[in-house]
Amino acid sequence: MCGIVGVYNFKKESVSESALFDANECLIHRGPDAGNIFIHKNVGLAHRRLSIMDLSENGSQPMSSSDGRYTIVFNGEIYNFIELRKQLVEEFNILFSSESDTEVVLNAFIAWNYDSFRRLNGMFALGIFDQLENKIILARDRFGIKPLYYTNYNNTFVFASEIVGIKSYLGGSFKYNVKEQALVEYAWFGNPLGENTFFENVKEVLPGRTFTLTENGLEITRFWEPSEIKDNLHLPEKDVVKRIRNLMQESVKRHLISDVPVGIFLSGGIDSSVITALSSEFYTGKIKTYSVGFDFDKGINELPKAKMLAERFGTDHHEVYVEAKNLPDVIEKLVDAHGEPFADAADIPLYLLTNQVKKEVKVVLQGDGGDEIFGGYSRYFTLTKEDYFKPWKLLSGLPWQMISNTALLQKVRFLDAITTDNDADRLALLLTMESKRQLPTNIFSHSVNNRLKNLNPFKRYHDLNDEFKNKDLIQRLFNIDLSCILPDTFLEKVDKSTMANGVEIRVPFLDNDLVQFALSIPSSLKVKNGVKKYLLKKAFEDLIPHDILYGPKTGFGVPYSFWIQKSLVDYMKSNINDPKVIASGIFNHQLINDYIEKHQKGKGNYGFLLWKCLILAIWIRKQPSMILDLKL
């Protein structure tokens, strides 16, 4: 796992060595082990290394082919690189000089060109320079596990693992104009969606895409798309269950390959339990597992379950207790880590946990993706019963102002969502904590709202709904979750909060073969009898204790709502009312301060909305004052 930066100047002007070096140094947290740059006339590549595979200098990047024509910078891990290496040796007689997956990726591209990206089973964001044709090829993995941002500014194309690398290279010429679509999406979901970022001139490469940069400009293509997967209607349930078990075993085996110690975040839930059970069987030695308790979990945690599982599977188990002693400091660091407003507060425990374990392990496995491919959310089953809720639409018409009970407000919000006629709007509303009854964009000033009023916050959902229109509604939701909330929220949260501490997170549930098969399973089987993760539970009934598979999930949520009401209220007010934030003209300060007061007195739960305000205010405060231009 690493950090990359690259530059392509369309005017054929030379790349600035000092600017490229500085941009690379901005990513030192992603790769503290080494840093190198490569420059050839109008092209520059830079790499920060977190040594995981082949710890020798032979695995260093930027890495060039034996003839010097191709040079690669690569962030990620390829889990089938051993099989690909063998195939390259047998078919093309390629001689390898390292044991790294980077060299395999480079030679795979030389051998199979763009088709090589479909063959890579893993997580990656990469750039390959072809010196003979003076072009750069970019690619991002099919699920968006690893980030890749880019801008084309004043005939200079810059890409990087984080926005900070782009900002650093462009320096004072970088424009800080806020993208309005990102702002309206943030108000509804807590982060921008799809290719949008908060910067008008910076985009994120969408999953499964390749970019080709030449003197003639930019060409974007797709090497994989989930819509190509057809339902497998003919396999009996027992065969589906057996296939899931086999694919999960193979995935975990692959994800354990490493030249440094590997650990597992063991929560006591189903996904991490399956990963732990299989890892204990396949890992050479005793694998480390980590469970965490926080001083803000109010005693609600899964430490006892995790300990029981660790004993059952014989792991080297550690219980990590994390105290949120200095929350403002952590919040400030995470705003920097994301590079733009990001309001999923679950990044806080991930950051605190990896900060504790980074001295012991560089690689950690965890269960992201299990919910999205096997049906871990209640909304999948809810959509099978949408006709049941239609008669309740009249209740959803109650005036919002008449309802003060938080639980009832949540029920009304749900009824509003499930009884919405438009499919794309319904799916989007099921994915947000906000409601059209009380628009979250009300937090913005009148002038800002005038600019946002004609924007559709659910545009990404409409685009994806159209892309998957040939699938049934529930299958559509599975695909949309995999394409939207997973990369835009959950994988973004994981990458930035953990790489800030130089810890690589691997996600076995997002193995190519496993996801390909899971998406082909008919929705009626995935949500059978209303049991969440029905098929995954069936696949591991003989291995995972019944109480873990079918017992109530404990879990806990990050209590940001409580913090804003109590310990962080002064911090909240100071940021919202900061002179620079006020001068930006972005907020309706009177309304937000009213929400803070009501929230303090328990006269409504404005927790998530206020958390979004806090993160956005901190981000505005941190932008360079002389060049911040909201253009709103």
C-alpha to C-alpha distance for 631 and 352, rounded to whole angstroms: 36
DSSP result, 134-188:
TEEEEEE-TT--S--EEEEETTEEEEESSHHHHHHHHGGG---PBPHHHHHHHHH
Give the 3-state secondary structure of 599-616. HHCCCCCCHHHHHHHHHH
C-alpha to C-alpha distance for 334 and 500, rounded to whole angstroms: 8
In this prediction, residue 34 carries a pLDDT of 80
In this prediction, residue 387 carries a pLDDT of 74
In this prediction, residue 183 carries a pLDDT of 96
Domain 228-374+485-550: give its CATH superfamily.
HUPs (3.40.50.620)
Could you tell me the residue ranges of all domains in the chain?
2-224, 228-374+485-550, 378-440+451-479, 560-622
In this prediction, residue 138 carries a pLDDT of 98
CB atoms within 10 A of CB 136: 23
- The DSSP letter of residue 491 is I
In this prediction, residue 320 carries a pLDDT of 85
Q: Tell me if residue 353 falls in helix, strand or coil.
A: helix
Please name which of 138, 156, 151 lies closest in space to residue 16, comparing C-alpha atoms.
Answer: 156
State pLDDT tens for residues 292-343: 888 776 666 778 899 999 999 999 999 988 777 789 999 999 999 999 999 9
- Please list, in sequence order, all residues whose beta carbon lies within 8 angstroms of the beta carbon of residue 342, skipping any fewer than 6 positions away: 190, 191, 334, 335, 492, 493, 496, 615
In this prediction, residue 297 carries a pLDDT of 67
Please name which of 494, 459, 238 lies closest in space to residue 366, comparing C-alpha atoms.
Answer: 494
Q: Where are the alpha helices (DSSP H) in 176-269?
A: 180-189, 237-255
Give yes or no for a contact between 456 and 188, defined as CB atoms under 8 angstroms apart.
no
Please name which of 358, 288, 293, 284 lies closest in space to residue 318, comparing C-alpha atoms.
Answer: 288
Q: Mutual orientation of helices 327-338 and 607-622 as an angle, nearest 10°?
A: 70
- The dihedrals phi and psi of 219, each to the nearest 5 degrees, come to -125, 130
- The DSSP letter of residue 235 is S
C-alpha to C-alpha distance for 295 and 302, rounded to whole angstroms: 14
State pLDDT tens for residues 563-622: 998 889 999 999 999 999 999 999 999 999 999 999 988 887 799 999 999 999 999 999
Residue 11: Cβ-neighbour burial (10 angstroms; 0-12, 13-18, 19+): exposed
Assess if CATH 3.60.20.10 describes domain 2-224: yes
In this prediction, residue 33 carries a pLDDT of 83
- The DSSP letter of residue 344 is -
HSE (CB half, 13 Å, CA atoms) of 524? 7
Which token pair is 420? 């919405």
Question: In percent, how much of the chain has pLDDT > 90?
Answer: 72
User: Which portions of the chain are predicted below pLDDT 50?
Assistant: 402, 626-628, 632
Please name which of 176, 162, 94 lies closest in space to residue 496, comparing C-alpha atoms.
Answer: 162
Place of tokens 């200095």: 326
In this prediction, residue 391 carries a pLDDT of 67
In this prediction, residue 626 carries a pLDDT of 41
3-state helix, strand and coil shares in percent for the chain, rounded to the nearest 5:
50, 15, 35
- The dihedrals phi and psi of 542, each to the nearest 5 degrees, come to -85, -10
C-alpha to C-alpha distance for 275 and 252, rounded to whole angstroms: 7
- The dihedrals phi and psi of 484, each to the nearest 5 degrees, come to -125, -75
**Known active-site residue 484:** no
